[in-house]
Structure 1
Amino acid sequence: MAEEHKQTTIPIPKEVEKTSNVQILADNSANDAETETKNVVENVVAKEMVEEEEEEVTSEFKVCITENGAEMGSEDDDNNKYPELEMKAMEELKKLIQNAINNHEFTDPPLIQEQVEEEANADHKTIEEETNEESEEATNKVTVDEDGTKTVEAIVETIIVHTSAEKLQNSSAASASLSSVVTSQFEKLQQETDTTTPPSVEEVSIWGVPLLKDERTDTIIWKFLRARDFQVNEAFKMMKSTIKWRKEFKIDELMEEDLGEDLEKVVFMHGYSKEGNPVCYNVFGGFQDKELYKKTFSDEEKREKFLKWRIQFLEKSIRKLDFFTKGVSTIVQVNDLKNSPGPGKWELRQATKQALHLLQDNYPEFVSKQVFINVPWWYVAVNKMIRPFLTQRTTSKFVVAGPSKSAETLFSYIAPEQVPIQYGGLSKGEEFDTKDGATQIIMQPASKETIEFAVTEACNVTWEVRVLGWDVNYGAEFVPNASDAYTIIIQKMKKVGPTQQSIITNTFNIGEPGKVVLSIHNSSSKKKILLYRLKSKPSCD
């Protein structure tokens, strides 16, 4: 088969300009079974956390926050941020929130009336107790001898009857006037409150954003309205329920708890999407570790701790978002199902249900995209049953890819320099970081790619090269501009196997004008994704 040869020439400036040119082409090399799996999964994958159920990352285990809101942060200006009908709904909801704050509906309201009634009832009870005590005291004083018995008894009887009647009359009068006393005391207290101490204003915050204080409220309100299809009363009801749950769950206290670091490799944040969304990775294969699985899900107490850890992780991630008008207030979820525990894990189902009930009602519209990678065969079967319950808006948030297409699927939404090395990217935190942009090239079967870096002055050049799946030949050399100079072999052409190494890094100190030439030969019958980036530093010589 004749080989196609391409050549790319890139001049090296003093500082290499960052680039994020990433265009993914479809890989025709996937076998029929994988293609069929992908097609089926794309039609049946479910977010068992539809807005409210978007927390599932395996069909059995939702570890990531639920809900969508990708449109947030991409609007052009404040005036056009929301359509007219949405603006109207937002204004109506703001009024409901303001009234609720004024009436202390988000917390327990002042109990002035009840306090006055309790005080009045206490006074009435005191009068009755005094009457009974005096009657008993008068009776106990009756001690006479036989000669004076009759006279004394008559006198005492008269005194007791007179005293009892008088107290009873006073008690009845007190009871009759209780209502007027309560009313007068209540009115007096209200007058004192109005003239001396202004009523306290309830302050309500959610996700660290105080409601109705600045423009961030619009973003919060939009999320609740979107989650309830812009039905104002339903959105208001959801918001009140969420605020109540947050107090009962003691979110502010939870933020300060130390819940351990056991799950940091299972759920973690890394990099940003092309739209600027923070990216959360959920690695379910981590639960194949029997020790970790047992430590996390074996009993109710451990599942509760996991739930608290997951909520804490989510809260910390959310509080780093930008709720202002042109900010980014949603995240991208990447759910790695490689080696994920199967659907028969009862403990996993229990944890999923617990998370679902909380996340579906309390974290609306926070996920812009759910990307499922390394999808196993059983995922299709488990999710097939829930497809009829999904809306078009929900399914549009989901992207599903089998093992052979996981990396290129990620590159569609996340630049290679932002993708962790274990998922096919270049992010490994050594010589380069996520700020150093990468270039992506699709190599056709039986083709050659030549990349040239032009050098105009003495400098030190470092570059990274990665071919997904490798199985190609790679070499590097420096060619001076001088006609009588010799080409210097930096890396002798050699075969790089599919499992040998993920990234090749080379550094070369250049003392004269010329060019660095990288050669990659793809002799296989499959397309390859080639990634590379470089940077230069002034030479120390």
Structure 2
Amino acid sequence: MAEDSPAPATAAATVTEVVVVAAATAVEEEKPVAPASVEEEEDAKEKTEEEPKKVEDAAIGSSASFKEESNVVADLVDPQKTALEDLKKLVEAALAKNEFSKPPPPPPPKEEEKPAEKAEAAVADPPKAEDPPADPPAKSEEPSAEPPEKTAEETPKEENKEEVTPKTEESTPPAEVEPIAAVAETNVEATAVPVAEDAAPPPPPPPADATPPPAEAEEVAPVTTPEEISLWGVPLLGDEKSDTILLKFLRARDFKVKDALEMIRSTVIWRKEFGIEKLLEEDLGLPELEKVVFMNGIDKEGHPVCYNVYGEFLDKDLYQKVFSDEEKRKKFLQWRILFLEKGIRQLLDFSPSGVSSMVQVTDLKNSPTLLKREIRLATKQALHLLQDNYPEFVAKKVFINVPWWYLAYNRMISPFLTQRTKSKFVFAGPSKSADALFKYIAPEQVPVQFGGLSKDNDSDFGTSDPTTEITVKPSSKHSIEIPVSEVGSLLTWELRVLGWDVTYGGEFVPSAEDAYTVIIQKPRKYSPADEPLVKNSFKIGEPGKVLLTVDNASSRKKKILYRSKISHSSD
């Protein structure tokens, strides 16, 4: 969705992720990918096969520098405050002049009507050859339009030039030409005085006691009512949330006031043409896409998190349903924009101290290659819309399960991205994806499929139940101790080890010295292909503790995620 609207070169990050959610940033196809990427792929493949761990570690920490700015006016530096005030004045003037509408198209050129007019004229006026000899009075009218300085001798010369064309006039006796010329000379002299005096003689002055005639009513320009414009439910001016909206456009244009105003104008016009308000009332269907793009939880700073899962397009039927022709791609784009608009209005807060941007997570596992024409077309179209019309809506953009070829591609397009945009990007390979997410999002907020503990319809745990993270060193064992004392209560826990390849077991140890240990789960070896997490419960019959043991016999460190809760008998 999202994006971010960097200088026009990016925004892939504007919810900008979007469509394919911006497949991604993939996206800025300002350079052809295929030719350059062949050589890049060979080098990248050798390097990533030799040192995959180094590439992933570097990718995760390379772009964690971005810090979201405050929208509280008091926190702005003086030049930013001045730019905000200047933009408000320009917006107010533009609203008063109704400049946030697309200008009407220019009228069609008049030259197109000339052929028709000529044809009509030809039909209306018969040829001169069939006319009777020229009428003297008609000839005498032509000289009357000439300036008075011309002499009577010049007039016949001009008339003679006009009379040469038709052959039928050759038969006219020469004797008839002289009377016509004489008549023309006489008329010229008679009309010379009025022609020379263009203006009519001034009227006589009115009597002193006459009342002046009423003055003609002057044309009064119609009074225009200032246009009321809102973006994402927030008026451009006059609301406490308006500054947040204006600051988004200013930051997207490096606080260049006129550029920000033009961007606002373009966005307003695009929203009208795209029919955003009408789109919000529609149901476009496409339930299959709910697994492709979805919202889940928040990050550690309270930003809503949007997940984009391209691997779902491996389903050929879904791929054809979404990308096979222009009409389907257009509908998918509408669906993605609608999803983004609803997320913005329902989950973001444009108050000065509110959270007004999202975190975009893009999963590239099993994703279709960007060389597919349909993907490129949809991605390119989505990127342009997002970067131009959804500025600064992405706080962070995390790419997970990134294949080696995409890292090579990113290095190729990196010079074309602004530093602000690059500072929002995080890339992580398959073995580091969960760690990258946990850096910004708590494990209880991350879906199970991406390494976290969040599940739909979980009656025992929710996103409000915190998770404990523990790292187990290679060739070592770690035991989690959960004390319990209330008899009759129920202890429930869930646990997962990222990447498993460990042995896990659980037991209850009573506090009484003469009591017996109860085996809850026999030690079992879990492989990466096993279920992502285990959930157990144990009813407490006497005070004691539950011990959960993880034995990591591998040569790599492992991360344990677990959480527990006790339900009392009265619950």
CA contact (8 A) 2:507 2:520 kept: yes
Alignment-derived partner of residue 282 in structure 1: 308
The answer as to whether partners of 1:465 and 1:504 remain within 8 angstroms in 2 is: yes
Instruction: Name the counterpart of 2:515.
Output: 485
Q: 1:402 is matched with which residue?
A: 429
Partner of 1:242: 267
**SS where residue 221 of structure 1 aligns?**
helix
Asked if the contact 1:64/1:282 (under 8 Å) is kept, the reply is no
Partner in structure 1 of residue 438 of structure 2: 411
List alignment gaps of at least 5 residues for structure 1: 1-46, 110-172, 174-180, 194-198
Matched-pair contact (CA < 8 Å) for 2:19–2:379: no
2:369 alignment partner, one of 342, 363, 367: 342
Is the aligned partner of 1:97 residue 2:126?
Answer: no
TM alignment of 1:51-200, pairs within 5 A = 55=17, 61-62=23-24, 71=67, 75=70, 78=72, 80-107=74-101, 184=217, 186-187=219-220, 200=225
Say which is worse superposed, 213-222 or 232-241, in terms of deviation: 213-222
CA contact (8 A) 2:84 2:246 kept: yes
Q: Is the counterpart of residue 392 in structure 1 residue 419 in structure 2?
A: yes
The answer on whether the counterparts of 2:469 and 2:559 sit within 8 Å (CA) in structure 1 is yes
Q: How far 1:48 moved relative to its partner?
A: 5.2
Query: Within 2, Cα distance between the matches of 1:479 and 1:71?
Result: 48
Match of 1:434 among 434, 451, 463: 463
- Given that 2:363 and 2:399 are in contact with CA atoms closer than 8 Å, whether structure 1 keeps it comes out as yes
Q: 2:378 aligns with which of 342, 351, 369?
A: 351
Amino acid aligned to 2:88? K
Structure 1 residue 319 corresponds to structure 2 residue 345: yes
Aligned 8 A contact 1:48 1:56 in 2: no
So what's the TM-score if we normalise by structure 2?
0.68
Report if the CA contact (8 A) 1:54-1:62 is conserved. Answer: no
Cα deviation digits, residues 462-485 of structure 1 (max 9, x gap): 001100111111111122222222
Distance 1:259 1:367 in 2: 25
CA contact (8 A) 1:57 1:64 kept: no
Contact 1:59–1:383 (CA<8 Å) still a contact in 2? no
Separation in structure 2 between the aligned mates of residue 516 and residue 427 of structure 1, nearest angstrom = 23
The answer on whether the counterparts of 1:443 and 1:528 sit within 8 Å (CA) in structure 2 is: yes
Shift of 1:201: 4.1
- For the 8 Å contact 1:208–1:319, the answer to whether it is kept is yes
Task: Give the corresponding residue for 1:27.
Answer: none
Superposed CA deviations along residues 454-507 of structure 1, whole A, max 9, x for unmatched, are: 123222110011001111111111222222222222112222222122111111
CA RMSD of aligned residues (A): 3.0
- 2:404 corresponds to which residue? 377
Give the CA deviation at 1:78. 3.9
Deviation at 1:183, TM superposition (A): 7.7
SS at match of 1:238: helix
Q: Is the 8 Å Cα contact of residues 476 and 492 (structure 1) preserved in structure 2? A: yes
SS of the equivalent of 2:75 reads coil
Whichever residue aligns with residue 236 of structure 1, its letter is: L
Residues 253-272 of structure 1 aligned to structure 2 (within 5 Å): 253-260=278-285, 261-272=287-298
**Counterparts of 1:79 and 1:58 in 2: how far apart (Å)?**
35
| Contact 1:209/1:217 (8 A) holds in 2 | yes
Equivalent-residue separation in structure 2 for 1:63 and 1:540 (angstroms): 53
SS in 2 for 1:385: helix
Q: CA deviation at 1:400?
A: 0.4
Equivalent-residue separation in structure 2 for 1:342 and 1:185 (angstroms): 68
Q: State the match for 1:210 in structure 2.
A: 235
Query: Displacement, 1:108?
Result: 7.9
Calculate the TM-score normalised by the size of structure 1. Answer: 0.72
Contact 1:445 1:528 in 2 (8 A): yes
Aligned equivalents of 2:409, 2:18: Cα separation in 1: 12
The aligned amino acid for 1:215 is E
Once the 2 structures are TM-superposed, how far is the Cα of residue 384 of structure 1 from its aligned partner? 3.2
- How far apart are the structure 2 equivalents of 1:182 and 1:537? 92
SS of residue in 2 equivalent to 1:262: helix
Paired with 1:281 and 1:182, the residues of 2 have a C-alpha distance of: 71
Pick aligned residue for 1:524 from 522, 545, 554: 554
Residues 56, 64 of structure 1: 8 Å contact kept: no
The AA in structure 2 aligned to 1:205 is S
- Structure 1: distance between partners of 2:266 and 2:73: 30
Q: Describe the superposition over 1:237-288 as per-residue Cα deviations: whole angstroms up to 9, x where unpaired.
A: 1001101110111100011121112211111111111111111111111111
Residue pair 2:11, 2:387 contacting (<8 A) in 1 also? yes
Judge conservation of contact 1:62–1:355 (CA < 8 Å) in 2.
no
1:408 Cα deviation after fit: 1.0
- What is the CA-CA distance between 1:62 and the residue it aligns to? 3.5
Within 2, Cα distance between the matches of 1:52 and 1:461? Answer: 44
Cα distance change of structure 1 residues 294 and 372 upon mapping to structure 2, 3 Å threshold: same
Does the residue aligned with 2:320 lie in a helix, a strand or coil?
helix
Instruction: Give me the whole-angstrom Cα distance separating, in 1, the residues matched to 2:568 and 2:17.
Output: 49
Q: Distance in 2 between matches of 1:288 and 1:362?
A: 30
Q: Does the CA contact (< 8 Å) of 2:365 and 2:402 recur in 1?
A: yes
Cα deviation digits, residues 326-375 of structure 1 (max 9, x gap): 11111011111111111321111111121122112100000011111111
* Mapped contact 2:12–2:27 kept (Cα < 8 A): no
The 3-state SS of whatever aligns with 2:537 is strand
Instruction: Give the whole-Å Cα distance in 2 for the aligned partners of 1:524 and 1:182.
Output: 102
Secondary structure of 2:398's counterpart equals: strand
Query: CA-to-partner distance for each residue in 1:264-318, whole Å, 9 max, x for gaps?
Result: 1111111111111111111111111111111111111111111111111111111
Q: Contact 2:15–2:358 (CA<8 Å) still a contact in 1?
A: no
Structure 2 unmatched ranges of 5 or more: 1-8, 29-63, 104-199, 201-213
What amino acid maps onto 2:219 in structure 1?
F
After TM superposition, give the deviation of residue 392 of structure 1 in Å. 1.9
What is the DSSP-based 3-state SS (H/G/I as helix, E as strand, rest coil) of the residue aligned with 1:340? coil
Equivalent-residue separation in structure 1 for 2:570 and 2:534 (angstroms):
24
Larger relative contact order (CA 8 Å, sep ≥ 6): 1
1:467 aligns with 2:497: yes
Q: How many residues align?
A: 416
Q: Secondary structure at the match of 1:292?
A: helix
Partners of 2:297 and 2:236 in 1: how far apart? 29
Partner of residue 446, structure 1: 475
